[in-house]
Chain A
Amino acid sequence: MSDNYFDKVREEFKDEIKNTRTKKDAGIRIEGQVSGVAHNSGTITNNYYKEPAAADVTRKFDDSAVKQGRKPIGMRQLGICVNPSYMTPKEYQNFSKGIWDGVERRKNCQDWQAWDWAEDHLQPKAPNNTAVEQPKSPGEYNEFQEHMLYYIAVFSCLIVILTWLIMAGNFQ
């Protein structure tokens, strides 16, 4: 359920994720449980852009990740779509139930060492992995990979066409 839900949230907020990363100066319309406009500078200028009440209450004084023995790995950016593996147990619970949509709206909030909820044990990830792992938006791959594939395709076509023609010429 959570994976599906996360996929849905991720799809819904994909522009926002991309814009937060590229830091382009553009407001993004957020639709869903709450709606409003988030600015990439990190300041929220719209009163509608609020945490759902239920999630707000349960996420206060959240030390559940510390109790698991996880360490903080850095600060979350405001408005980011949090990967479930970096959530605290309380956050993950709210997220799974659909109370919280996975978007960070609190200022100065910590990210935690990755946790595999499916297997329920600590992942051997480096604690210096400070950046929140952001899902790739469609078509977003390494430029080198894209170019490499392009040139492989072009040269494969060229080689096949030329070889084919040469063989056909010899066959005649």
Chain B
Amino acid sequence: MSGYLLGLSTVLLWGLYNVLARFAGFEGANPVVFVCFGFIVASLVLLVVSGPGRMSMQAFRSPVTWLYGVLTLFEHIFTVYLFIYVTSAEGSLLQRFGVILVVIFAWLFFNRRPRAMTVAGTTLIAAGCIMLLGQLDPETMKNAMLFLLAAIFFQVTKTMVIEAHPEVNVFHGLKDRIRVTAIISFVSCMLIFIALACVAAYGHFLHVSVAPLPSAADFLRMDTLILGGAFGVLIEPASIFAYFYAVKHLKSERFMALAALVPLITYGLEVVAHWFTSMPVRTFSTLEWACVAVITLGSAVMQFKYRKRRRAIA
């Protein structure tokens, strides 16, 4: 029971992140600065919680770690950009496209032929996503597609990096895993932060525009930092804790089935956020609700094969 509670907490925190990211984008915060500052704060919190110990050097000295961290960061940055053009519930639904790409790439590169249930699930997700894209405003759809594809590209590449280098994910102790996660965030954020801060300083002192990269003014906007800080202190560390505990208790397949609820929870949270902020919320039409149902069903169906196989083994 506690496993399901933890799983739901993780899903809730992911939904909260989606809404906060959308709010940051809506308030004009620069996504790069928001994500970078948020992750630096989250790294600090996670490092303090995990305490010193082993595995830090292992993670730090691995080029795969650096690659993984940078890919994660870019995935988050493009997700926030996506939320500028679509609502967080829509964005969260559209991100399910990534699952289809993961299945295709796993087949192409890792020779893992998808099972019938996986094909059925991905077909449902694809159908739902295409129907949903058809409902978007054509003006915003172009930008939304661009950032969606970028976010998905980094998400899929990240997944493939883990798959090709399983040593990234072999840490057993919870504190070790949290410490390694913190080190990964720290390394990638510092890398991106130093590079972009140098560019911003260059633009500031020589009066040169550095767009579309963040300028010095973007870096020093206090409300961006407050939102990033809220993400780094309240959401990210808690979601990492809850995620690790939930996966441990529920096993990944059950957890992934629960994660199919993220878009629905995000929508609920968005409605709640609308009561307190000026952030607009989109009221779904019947067709859009059908898309939500189809995508959620597709995500759940994809996990069904594992449960069935487990029973067969038992």
Interface residues of A, Cβ cutoff 8 Å to B: 138-143, 145-147, 149-151, 153-154, 156-158, 160-161, 164-165, 167-169, 171-172
B213 within 8 A of A: no
30 A–B contacts, CB within 8 A, in A order: A138-B170, A139-B55, A140-B54, A141-B54, A141-B56, A141-B57, A141-B58, A142-B57, A143-B54, A146-B52, A146-B54, A146-B56, A147-B52, A149-B183, A150-B47, A150-B179, A153-B43, A153-B47, A153-B183, A154-B48, A157-B44, A157-B186, A160-B190, A161-B41, A164-B220, A164-B225, A165-B225, A168-B221, A171-B217, A172-B222
A139 in contact with B47 given A150-B52, A168-B220 (CB within 8 Å): no
Q: Does B47 contact A157, Cβ atoms closer than 8 Å?
A: yes
Kindly state the separation between the CA atoms of A145 and B44 in the bound complex, as whole angstroms. 19
Q: Which of A138, A143, A151, A172 has the most CB of B within 10 A?
A: A138
Across the interface, B40 reaches (CB within 8 A) one of A151, A157, A167, namely: A157
Kindly state the separation between the CA atoms of A15 and B244 in the bound complex, as whole angstroms. 25
Kindly state the separation between the CA atoms of A158 and B40 in the bound complex, as whole angstroms. 9
Across the interface, A150 reaches (CB within 8 A) one of B56, B190, B217, B225, namely: B56
Interface residues of B, count at CB 8 A: 32
Across the interface, B225 reaches (CB within 8 A) one of A138, A140, A153, A168, namely: A168
B60 within 8 A of A: yes
Q: Which of A139, A140, A147 has the most CB of B within 10 A?
A: A139
Please report the number of residue pairs spanning A and B whose Cβ atoms sit closer than 8 angstroms: 78
B202 within 8 A of A: no
B193 within 8 A of A: yes
Kindly state the separation between the CA atoms of A122 and B243 in the bound complex, as whole angstroms. 53
Residues of A within 8 A of B57 (CB): 139, 141-142, 145-146, 149
Shortest Cβ gap from B76 to chain A (Å): 17
Q: Does B44 contact A154, Cβ atoms closer than 8 Å?
A: yes
B182 within 8 A of A: yes
Kindly state the separation between the CA atoms of A71 and B199 in the bound complex, as whole angstroms. 59
Shortest Cβ gap from A164 to chain B (Å): 7
